Amino acid sequence: MSLANKITKFRKEKGLGIDELAELSGVPKGTLAKISAGLTLNPTLETVRAIAYALGRTLDDFIDTADTEKTAQGEMTLNGFDHALLDMTKEYSQEQKAQFLENAKIFDNSLKWKEQQGGE
């Protein structure tokens, strides 16, 4: 199911119109309308996050994810979420890509530290 269809589905489940979702999410009505119509195919992560939060959903609810698997050669394949992240970053400047990767490393290190401490 496309991002546009998911937003429409979750918005209707909440009984919200585009105007109300725009107000709750802080995303301009015109932007929401374009995304919902499938005219904007690569909204920013911040936009999707704001929409997800307003609808009481997570980012995973909007991105088709598949388990990361190892190929027969032992190489890791990308899951749907990884592909979505790569698609969103393809138009980033080199500086933005470097910052994104730095943030990802910090997040990964944080998760590893929590695991070592016995946390979730």
pLDDT at 54: 93
- CA atoms in the 13 A half-sphere facing the CB of 31: 15
Within 1-120, residue ranges assigned H as helices are: 3-13, 18-25, 29-36, 45-54, 80-89, 94-116
State the Cα–Cα distance between residues 14 and 10, nearest whole angstrom. 6
Name the one residue in this structure whose structure tokens are 């698609």. Answer: 87
> Rounded mean pLDDT of 6-14?
92
Looking at residue 67, its pLDDT comes to 38
Residue 59 DSSP label: G
The pLDDT tens digits of the residues spanning 81-116 come to 555 666 667 777 778 777 777 777 777 777 777 777
Classify 1-89 by CATH class: mainly alpha
Instruction: Report residue 31 as tokens.
Output: 């932007």
pTM: 0.54
pLDDT confidence band for 11 (50 / 70 / 90): very high
**pLDDT per position as a tens digit, 25-80:** 999 999 998 888 888 767 888 888 899 999 999 887 877 544 344 444 444 444 55
CB neighbourhood size of 21 (10 A): 22
Residue recorded with tokens 């695991």 = 115
Distance between CA 88 and CA 96 in Å, rounded?
11
Note the pLDDT of residue 84. Answer: 63
10 has pLDDT over 90:
yes
